[in-house]
Structure 1
Amino acid sequence: MTFKFHKLLPVSAAVVALATMSAYASADQIVKIGHVGPLTGGSAHLGKDNENGARLAIEEINAKGLTIGGQKITLQLDGQDDGADPRQATQVAQKLVDDKVVAVIGHLNSGASIPASKIYSDAGIVQISPSATNPAYTQQGFKTTFRVVATDAQQGPALANYAGTALNVKTVAVIDDSTAYGQGLANEFEKTAKARGIKVLSHDATNDKAVDFRAILTKVKGENPDAIMFGGMDATGGPFAKQAKQLGLRAKILAGDGVCTESLANLAGAAADNVVCSQAGMALERMDGGAAFSAKYAKRFGHAIEFDAPFTYDTVYIIVDAMKRANSTDAAKILAAIPTTDYKGVIGETTFDSKGDLKHGVISLYNYKAGKKTLLDVVKM
């Protein structure tokens, strides 16, 4: 019996070793995808909406199963908060690089996306913003910067042209929040407005933390413009529109996608009905997969889409599509595959030009009726 016992020991150890090796071989490789947006501050509701869209896509892909290069992959969302602050944005960008993410979805704001972009460029990690619209973001010469929305060079003119044609605006006052986004959009609007003969009476600046706009609005009231172009986000745009109504301004409020959210009606109250705004992408109700995505999102998170969740959702699939075409989860190989993307998803077809912008941008125009965001028109650029 002793002889047999000693004889069996190495066999048992071998079985255990083989089982352990087999377990390691079959274990999924964790691949991290970063997401950055403001999860605190005035735009936290928009940042969370973006993060939710990305999270929904990752959960779906993991549930279906993903294999790249013969290896089973589990995607993990590395979500970070930049507070819509440029300095914080660079800090979390470096954290994502240190976390060894293979790609980054973000940032939400142009003012955060632009400073963070150099860090991703230096690290050779692709950055795809679902919402940054300032043209400068993709004009820095970086090979890592992409976006899945139109730019302010398209959004500003579309809004100005609509104001002049459909609203018969002859005079306008321009106000921006001094951020890369708000100032950039306001400037693009102003250039087109002047070119089509709309008289720009004034251009004033506030900031993205302001809550009291009565001094600027009182000045503008004396100018009596047909419209006021406000470059900023909904956290400031809502109170701005409300205070304009309280002061009795007759001017229509024009704004870009930062203001054009479902939350504006809560932030502006009845004054939301005086707002006409643009969105740098296809309207949800015009997206082929919009209804199905809305239902999935509501089931998963218990509330409706706020803003750009479909764009972050598709961006995850665009990154995974690049992994599949590269047959690799290596960040450099994913980056190399991104420029040749031709992906059809919820937001439509995504193809990039040489700078990383969409080849075919779309601008959607909205107003609010009894507090409900209502589509006016879709302009293909």
Structure 2
Amino acid sequence: MAVRHILATQLVMAFLLAACAGPSGPTAEEIAAAQAKVEANSAAARASAEQDGRVIVGVAGPMSGEFKTYGAEMQRGAEMAVADINAAGGVLGRTLVLEVADDGCGIKEADRAATELVEKGVVFVDGHFCSGSSIRGSKIYSKADILQITPSSTNSLLTDTAKQDKVTTLLRVVGRDDKQGEFAADWLAANYAGKPIAIVSDNSLYGKGIAARLLARLKEKGIRPVIDGEFIQGQTSYSSLVEALKKTQPGALYVAAYHDDIGRIAWAMRVAKLDTEIVGPDVLNNPEFWSFSQTKGNGVRFTDFAPAIERPEAAELVDRLRVQGVEPSNYTLNAYAAVQVFAAAAEATKGTDAKAIADYLRRNSVKTILGELTWDEKGDLTKVDYIWYVWQDGLAVRQ
């Protein structure tokens, strides 16, 4: 889904600084005072929680606004995990308490939500949803010794930026976008061996990231595409691409772009009587694709994460949710798993220190409803299950 790839193009000043900004911006004294207030409130909240036998954790996401459905799904998963863990004895002999913060999938809002959770004394955050919000939150949480595990942010820059900024307290329980490129490359190499392959991407970070991994994997296999190009998003005509495809006659065209452009490309190709197989990424799991293709999207193939509800480890939780009349989404189950990961690592390290927990997780596996998870040095999952779907008569059908 396209929302998973939202990444802000501008980064703004954190809320705790902006809150006291005057016409010419905050003074050094105002900045120091704001930081000191947040730190004091956080320390007091943590001390109070420890004295009362509580461990405060948070979930942050779009609880309002355009993407509030996803925020509600995350909150449901986090709440159920907290309830289940408490029923089994809690963490470190203490009771988990969940705080909820609304970031609206925005940047200023993410700063505000993260600062709010810091002041409430959380030691772990399940979130955020959008990648731009997760990046903003990570900068605040890392300075406050708070572990962050996102259940949904897939943009590759999230963990790449964290590594560059030496943020070690961020991980995710969902795959990163560009890994799809490797998965698709292996499929293309096996199914189009000895046949020409074309690769094009748009100018987005999402598209370029996937295409780069795909091309690198094909190069490892000794495969050189007959077309390796890039286009600007939102074009109204793809005649140049169609002409290039007519000349090279590839068996398959991989388009690393968003669903609207892929839909228009599919329409242009089918009108031109080109039967080249069209392959793309998970963003094609969007009903709007069919409209953009003007019903000419039959046969378009794409990758997506395997549904978490199919994991045998998740069966009991899935049944409980369905009894409640809720069809579990990946976001709900991933949010549940993120709390499981924190709880297991806190028990293993005998504390809630974020850096110690993150270090432990990079060296050890954790059993969750998503299976046994392991992470690399960036905090990315070492193994992600992708599957294929094909568009047929307006429906994305699993292959």
Q: TM-score, normalised by structure 1?
A: 0.70
Residue 278 (structure 1) aligns with: 303
Structure 2 residue aligned with 1:75: 97
Q: Is residue 2:253 matched to residue 1:227?
A: yes
Residue pair 1:40, 1:81 contacting (<8 A) in 2 also:
no
What secondary structure does 1:358 align onto? Answer: coil
Aligned partner of 1:18 in structure 2 is none
Q: Secondary structure at the residue paired with 1:215?
A: coil
Distance 2:237 2:256 in 1: 12
Q: How far apart, in 2, do the equivalents of 1:252 and 1:363 lie?
A: 19
Partner SS, residue 241 of structure 2: helix
Change in Cα spacing, 1:223 to 1:108, as seen in structure 2 (3 Å) is farther
Q: Is the 8 A contact 2:55 2:91 kept in 1?
A: no
Give 2:202's match in structure 1, choosing from 162, 176, 180. 176
Say if 1:102 and 1:331, in contact at 8 Å, map to a contact too. Answer: yes
The SS at the match of 1:149 is: coil
What is the aligned counterpart of 1:298 among 309, 316, 322? Answer: 322
Q: Could you tell me which of 179, 203, 211 is aligned with 1:154?
A: 179
In structure 2, distance between residues paired with 1:342 and 1:147: 13
Q: How many residues matched? A: 332
Cα distance change on mapping 1:290 and 1:372 into 2, 3 Å: farther
Shift of 1:317: 0.9
How far did 1:363 drift? Answer: 3.3
Name 1:58's counterpart in structure 2: 82
- Residue 143 of structure 1 corresponds to 168
Contact 2:365 2:373 in 1 (8 A): yes
CA contact (8 A) 2:309 2:329 kept: no
Q: What SS class does the counterpart of residue 67 from structure 1 fall into?
A: coil
Which has the greater radius of gyration?
Answer: 1
Whether the 8 Å CA contact 2:303–2:389 is kept in 1: the answer is yes
- Contact 1:68/1:328 (<8 A) preserved: no
The partner residue of 1:127 within 145, 148, 161 is 148
Over residues 241-282 of structure 1, what are the superposed CA-to-partner deviations in whole Å (9 max), with x where a residue is unaligned? 44344445445443333x154xx23653556643322235x5
Q: Deviations over 1:162-193 (max 9, x none)?
A: 234326673435233624x4432233224334
Distance of 1:346 and 1:215 partners within structure 2: 44
User: % of aligned pairs identical?
Assistant: 22
Question: Could you tell me how far apart the structure 2 residues matched to 1:364 and 1:74 are?
Answer: 35
**Alignment match, 1:15:** none
Q: 1:34 maps to which residue?
A: 59
Corresponding residue to 2:334 among 311, 315, 319: 311
Q: CA deviation at 1:314?
A: 0.9
SS of 1:136's partner is helix
Q: Is the 8 A contact 2:309 2:330 kept in 1?
A: no
- Report if aligned partners of 2:179, 2:210 keep a CA contact under 8 Å in 1: no
Task: Give me the whole-angstrom Cα distance separating, in 2, the residues matched to 1:106 and 1:298.
Answer: 24
Aligned AA (1:170): P
Superposed CA RMSD in Å reads: 3.7
* Structure 1 residue 344, shift from structure 2 partner: 1.6
Q: 2:98 is aligned with what amino acid?
A: Q
Q: Does 1:205 align with 2:232?
A: yes
Q: Which deviates more from structure 2 when the two are superposed, residues 115-124 or residues 302-311?
A: 302-311
Are the aligned partners of 1:157 and 1:189 in contact in 2 as well (CA < 8 Å)? Answer: yes
2:32 — aligned with what? none
SS state of the match for residue 254, structure 1? strand
Query: Aligned pair 1:106/2:127, yes or no?
Result: yes
Q: How does the TM-score come out when normalised to structure 2?
A: 0.68
CA distance in 2, matches of 1:75, 1:271: 51
C-alpha deviation, 1:203, in angstroms: 0.7
Q: Any conservation in 1 of the 2:171–2:379 contact (CA below 8 Å)? A: yes
Is 2:374 aligned against 1:347?
Answer: no
Any conservation in 1 of the 2:155–2:176 contact (CA below 8 Å)? yes
